[in-house]
Chains A and B, each alone.
Chain A
């Protein structure tokens, strides 16, 4: 009986370890939330691509590319998920645009002009 119990325990433990270790697991980890963050659009995309800020915090958007840019909420092209998160026009390359996030939630965003550049902003409660 002891050997049977040991056998079952060994198999179970090995199974759990294998499942957890090699199986795909989605773990979401937030950076510590900030009051203000600077997000810069470059040739490789938004940096940082994922941001966590406190509700009421501000994200400042700039670009290093010598081209207009237009950060805005998903979905492209309507920006309707968080419609205020939209400068409503292309920004010139030297411009800075700031947006204060007053709504808690996670907001995917993109560059409206080059919609393949994407990112996400997590807004956490105070």
Chain B
């Protein structure tokens, strides 16, 4: 039926205006967003410009709709473009932490008002590292760090089970960045000059546990090792004796130093676990050798986290020394869990521990490590739900309580 009079035409026009406006407001941006993401891949000439382009989109999404919106873009890009996933998911997540600090925190300077969605734990808590490091860089007192990290512990445990360790780790980053502000002369630049004060700050945190102090120290060493690897401040990474710097540290700091120095040995060994053995065996203590092995292998996994890691597993299984072989396998798990994105329920890591290629002796090791890593990202209730929905295997779930007791000892 055609309309009877002009008022009906006007009503129809208004209705159409509102209807298409609503569609334009909700559907059109999603379509535009998807096409922008694709355009970054098609129009950017190289991988760094693609990543820059995608980060621009994340920044735009953050500006409009906050952290979760940026992570929604992050997830789409990660799932669809290997170049993004394989170039350091943790580092990419740091950039969203930057955005959060600038677009959110700096507008009100009250961390209790911050938006921290559950998915922000992705990629080894990279978002939180990025956020905390800048917050502490600009608020460098031990008192502030304590207040902040204790707030995080008491309020974010449900969305981020490892939040307190993460907070202290990010604070270690921040202490070092703040220290760099003080060392303005080139003649002052040395590893010791940059790290001593931040390490002492970590060790003076009154409410941090021993583990959290270690995390803080690792945060300090992590930054300095990156600077060494990138040649910043005239520093350099010792490719011949990578652990020499750590051997000069006091005993209680050596483990944390080795942990972070080992982040780069995947490159030194070309991702070959057997070559990695030769490097880690330069460490003077077995506990340092094993942590270096585990971290080094996790670094290999980070380069290709979507891979099933079976070739890497075979290489691990060819290592003669039992403790290094085991740490190699555990490093695969660590890498898979730490470098995955939200919404995948850690399927790659879970499938790895169910692989037929694992021996009868290796499988329980794998399950125990998987549980320890999952606990960083999932509460006990969520792990139970993963069991009841069969995301986790029956065997894993049956042994979960026993493995939890082992982990807590």
Contacts and interface: CB of A to CB of B under 8 A. Distances in A.
Interface in B8-26: 9, 12-14, 16-25
Given A7-B3, A24-B32, A19 B48 contact: no
Contacts of B19: 15, 18
A17 interface: yes
Contacts of A19: 20-21, 23-24, 28
A54 to B, nearest CB: 22
Interface string B34-58: 0000000000000011011001100
B52 A7 contact: no
B52 A74 contact: yes
A63 to B, nearest CB: 12
Size range of the interface on B?
35 or more
B323 to A, nearest CB: 35
Nearest to B30: A24
Interface stretch (B112-120, B176-184, B298-306, B400-408): B176-184
A7 B5 CA distance: 11
B230 A78 contact: yes
A11 interface: yes
A74 B14 CA distance: 46
Nearest to B4: A3
Interface size class of A (residues with CB under 8 A): 35 or more
B186 interface: yes
B127 to A, nearest CB: 13
Contacts of A15: 16-17, 19-20
Contacts of A10: 9, 12-13, 16
A113 B180 contact: yes
A4 B2 contact: yes
Contacts of A117: 102
Contacts of B13: 10-11, 13-14
A108 interface: yes
A85 to B, nearest CB: 13
A115 B18 CA distance: 42
Contact of A23 (B12, B29, B180): B29
A17 to B, nearest CB: 6
A92 B184 contact: yes
Given A14-B20, A18-B21, A114-B137, A81 B3 contact: no
24 contacts: A7-B9, A7-B12, A10-B12, A11-B12, A11-B16, A18-B20, A19-B21, A21-B21, A22-B22, A23-B21, A23-B23, A23-B24, A23-B28, A68-B181, A74-B48, A74-B52, A74-B55, A75-B52, A75-B55, A81-B48, A90-B180, A108-B52, A114-B137, A116-B106
